[in-house]
Structure 1
Amino acid sequence: MTVSSTSPSAQSSATRTQTSAAVSVSSETALPTSETKQAILTQPLFVYNPEYIAFLNKSLATRSPEEILEWALISLPGLVQTTAFGLTGLVILDMINKIRNRRQLAEHPVPLIFIDTLYHFQETLDVAKRASEKYDAPLQVYHPQGHDNVASFESHHGQELWKTDADVYDYVVKVEPGRRAAIENNAQVLITGRRRSQGASRAAIPILEIDSGVTPAVLKLNVLADWDYARVWKYVQENGVPYNVLHDRNYKSIGDWHSTQPTAESEGERDGRWKGEAKTECGLHKDYFKMRANYLAAAKKRKLTESTDFVLVDSEEPSSKKIDS
């Protein structure tokens, strides 16, 4: 799938009508089989441009998140969910499971990917396991390339890399594993948990957007873009969604243990992340190519072996660890 920046629409009027109708999905509309999905991924690439995405967003704005997800499952090839098991990601996982149950699908319909930075709270690892088991969703775990434990990682990169070079840290523990996961899963559309109420660079995100070069995926699907924290939390409570117990200790947004703090009631949702710094994103939603260039420059300066480069993506052996529920 590729992106066209040209102004002419990538779709005919007839196709637009079909797509608009597809946003309103009936229970009789069949989801593509695994064979069909593979066939789609090997066909000539789809083309999206800003005009067509704007058209889709206008249609999607009137639909519920669950309706959007069901439409995406039918209409968009290469769907992948990457989550750190924050509240929004868990809500999306619950909604996908409801669609699965309603349609009586034998398997979880979307690859579920977790980037283990090696510095997550134990509580985060616990909820990842609980959620994977509850929703019978096999979890693909990706680590920094060449390292699956802190001792190995720090023997190569040194201690507290997040302090000595935050951009290199983000690239090595989050961005590169995320890109590798996308490549290995043929990702073309990335389901995210970003919401406008989180502010900063997320304040104006649309439901469906063209990726700016973060991953091989061409589109990002921000299913809960217009929900606020209170609405997400209400859904969690009303639907019995498992969640990170740190939320009960005033942690609203949870990342690595070294850069996450609890927040006061009056503080913003992400104010506990990188407190006292200008930073607002971990790197997963930044320009991949700029971050890679920065990493390569730093690696050259430090004369590092590029064990963190995605050298294994063409290997027959997947680089993730799958945790079956």
Structure 2
Amino acid sequence: MALQTHEESYVASPSIRDAESGYASGASSEASFPEVYFTKPHLKFLNAQLQQLEPQDILRWCITSLPGLYQTTAFGLTGLVTVDMLSKLGGPIKHNVDLIFLDTLYHFEETLSLVDRVRRRYGATIHVYKPEGCETADDFVAKHGDKLWETNEELYDYVAKVEPAERAYSELQVRAVLTGRRRSQGGKRGDLDIIEIDDAGMIKVNPLANWSFAQVQEYVNANKVPYNELLERGYKSVGDWHSTQPVAAGEDERSGRWKGRTKTECGIHNPKSRYAQFLMQQAQKQQEEELSQALQNVTMVA
């Protein structure tokens, strides 16, 4: 029998080579790769290292390390700074990151005007997601009733923000997102890490977590970054018109959101909204009932 040469022994398909070596490569045809994930020690280590870097360096790390990377933004100051920083990163690696904007149908006209200005200024690709089955506020009222944010706040957060975000992540195959959250915004954001993992396994990166409002504003002014005109009228954090007010002197940035209530987040950055938990419980209950019925049918046949 003829002997096989050293060179011939490696003439095999990528999948065979992967199987022989025990490793999978980027060229492998095997669908055996895990989703992007970090162990707790790895995440702790990364946060300790990234904590010492400037936002631009954190963004470079994200671009080179995280597949399926997008930026979620309501076009607040911090998100706008991130967009501008990304547009100015040098190097051979593609630095354009698509934006995801959740149009609740209740944004200020000034916010919608800003979206168009950002698109023109940076040539950004903006994926707009609205409440399912709704194109206008009238559609929303017809489907969910008038002033849902007052009659059922949890349901409003879910249908206007949480569900559209989940739909965006699924359709766009998002694995990691850049957010505009900072510790100095107060509330539940006071102990933010640079990298966080939510309950669904989504990687959330807060590149400007260390910055103060003054630093953000200084960058905006120095780089002539377009911003929401409402900021000149006392607003520091802008959301829906029905739940956003100007901020008084001495109050934290997000005190104008949901004024007079203990609420500080809309559900997108909460572990799970109560309404989302209710839906999960209902689905689990239905599965249990279907399984019980199936077992009864099997018993009757036997």
Relative to the length of structure 1, the TM-score reads 0.74
Residue number among 198, 202, 227 corresponding to 2:185 in the alignment: 198
Q: 1:75 to 1:231 in 2, by over 3 A?
A: same
Q: Is the helix fraction higher in 1 or 2?
A: 2
Tell me the SS of whatever aligns to 1:47.
Answer: coil
| Over 6 Å off, 4+ runs | none
In terms of Rg, which structure is larger?
2
How far the C-alpha of 1:75 sits from its partner, in A, is 1.0
How far the C-alpha of 1:207 sits from its partner, in A, is 0.4
Unmatched 5+ stretches in structure 2:
1-25, 283-302
- Tell me if structure 1 keeps the 8 A contact 2:176–2:204: yes
| Residue aligning to 2:43 | 53
How far the C-alpha of 1:294 sits from its partner, in A, is 3.4
Per-residue CA distance 1:116-171 (angstroms, 9 max, x = gap): 00000000001111011111111110000000101111011110000001110000
How many residue pairs match? The answer is 256
When structure 1 is superposed on structure 2, of 84-93 and 45-54 the one drifting more is: 45-54
| Residue aligning to 1:238 | 222
The answer to whether structure 1 residue 152 and structure 2 residue 139 are counterparts is yes
Q: Which has the higher contact order (CA 8 A, sep 6+)?
A: 1
**Identity in percent:** 48
| Residue aligning to 1:82 | 72
| Residue aligning to 1:285 | 269
The answer to whether structure 1 residue 92 and structure 2 residue 82 are counterparts is yes
Unmatched 5+ stretches in structure 1:
1-35, 299-325
Q: 1:219 to 1:297 in 2, by over 3 A?
A: closer
Which amino acid in 2 is paired with 1:103?
Answer: G
In 1, distance between residues paired with 2:269 and 2:59? 21
How far the C-alpha of 1:263 sits from its partner, in A, is 1.2
| Residue aligning to 2:61 | 71
Give runs of aligned pairs for residues 95-114 of structure 1, distance below 5 A.
95-99=85-89, 102-103=90-91, 109-114=96-101
In 1, distance between residues paired with 2:245 and 2:256? 5
Which amino acid in 1 is paired with 2:42?
Answer: Y
Which amino acid in 1 is paired with 2:153?
Answer: A
How far the C-alpha of 1:62 sits from its partner, in A, is 1.6
How far the C-alpha of 1:43 sits from its partner, in A, is 3.3
- Tell me if structure 2 keeps the 8 A contact 1:170–1:283: yes
Give runs of aligned pairs for residues 20-59 of structure 1, distance below 5 A.
43-59=33-49
Residue number among 247, 250, 253 corresponding to 2:234 in the alignment: 250
- Tell me if structure 2 keeps the 8 A contact 1:168–1:295: no
Which amino acid in 2 is paired with 1:112?
Answer: L
Q: 1:58 to 1:186 in 2, by over 3 A?
A: same
Residue number among 186, 194, 211 corresponding to 2:198 in the alignment: 211
In 1, distance between residues paired with 2:159 and 2:257? 19
Relative to the length of structure 2, the TM-score reads 0.79
